[in-house]
Structure 1
């Protein structure tokens, strides 16, 4: 039996007919469109995202050492990201599908440019610099371009995908993942691969094939060890036994777990953290900002933020389920599931249950390209849902 797919779910015509039979006034939805409908935005998702962004700025102020300049810089980046989300939300799935090959091709070309002449920072070659304008990571853009390209390809095929279609999808995913891994940025490479794999899984695979794929990946893991850089191997060894080098490789994870544990149930209070304010905690405004949150707001604050993330994921999955076509369902489902993986990996690495892979906490950690990419993804999600609402109101 095949895995239940979002792509092959029947249309909603019968549902809309039943609404009319139950007394919904004809044309009432079209005649009284709210401001949210006209902007193609989902009010519940927008509310949750804005709450997360506001809370993130509060935590960032503390994590940055109370530097207002950092908060202002992040606020301006979030403004650009929200504007991008609003613009993308106006597009239709057909427009997104038409432009996908160009977006994928340009992003792949930028990854090649990074390989040739990318800017080097902290030992990695991950950035492109536009003089006088910006410095950005093309790998972040591939987190959207990848699922868009795979969804575009599969939406034009009979689902569930054939073995040949899976081979084409593997080729679509392979080149960007290899280029990103060479930067080196294994964490982002894995997230990009996950974004593409989620599309394939949602398209429908037999459980037998999923089991075969799991065994194949498990068998390939030992080979991955020999392709990793020395610092990546050290991260895995540190994950297994951080106390083996407490002042070196194990410092980050020891300090982050100490900060989380010292927060207790209610936390030490905003701006009152010791590990963060006394600068024991590394990368506290980016990858390890969760430790600042846990130390200052405790388990209670952590649970509030995690519940907010969970509500965003649940709302996103509901919106994805409303899509009218295969492309919309596959792409929207992949975007929200990748967002969930973002949260899971970051919280997992900071709390010591996963190796450190350099993944920021989405929409909370300091960063420009990541925020734009994430909110652009939510813009795509809302564009797909808005298209469904417009069709159902006719």
Structure 2
């Protein structure tokens, strides 16, 4: 059985998937469905799919993956007759088999978004294992089609009337769902179904026109719409602060940051006010952390103490032009837009559509560059 790939041999116990009769119950399903942050369901649709092929895939997941990949545990291993649940880089991964498909979904159990990089790594792992297994099988199962569930997002159930090919969605970009064109008609966006699963797909939220598509506000009178745009932009600047912190932590890793602060303690006390110094030099002698710093503190430290950082294209303290995209240009963008929000005047308490369009796109792209795309979902959630 080991030679056939139907048993996972362990040091303490062995696992034989085909003998597992444990049912994935309502309680388990309810838990996963309750999680807010998850990817769309990635579907590998087969013309012919024997169950033992899925069993071999599970054995491969247990024996041929790296140490970061392990089985989830909850009063025992989360392995069931038709579902296997794994943990990978602080994410939960569900792999389910149905009559004609193997389905994959990644969840984030904590109150943060799924990391796109992790989802792409999970897809790569499963695809590699699938393709390796297919090389040794009969021609009838040498073909699968990759796609998604167009509406229902339940990895544990196969929705045959909801399957949409990835190839078709990539080609069309935005399209009327080919499965539901009458009573249940709806629009499919590649940026909604694919951006976790495809390296080159960006979130729709990089397009500021998506603001007016928010169903809760699309019918607002223009004066209220202007104020709504300001509220959305204020939330976007908070994501800007997160992106700035990600970049800051690369420039000043925690251990190096502590040494830098101690070395320049006298000068820093002259450059920062009392409240800021309390964050840089905590009274309880704890190690300072960037999570407590605001945009001003991080900006000043980057500008004055960043090791070998290039000067922004137009210089420090100047607003960069749209085509200027160095990391320090993006640092300046985040500072500028944060100041606009923090020091709002009556004249800037509302935002015209064209003004919002330009600023939204400019700031979104700066956030995506500094965060290396990891904040895409956070930006999307500001709108949808």
Q: TM-score, normalised by structure 2?
A: 0.22
Which structure has more relative contact order (CA 8 Å, sep 6+)? It is 1
Q: TM-score, normalised by structure 1?
A: 0.22
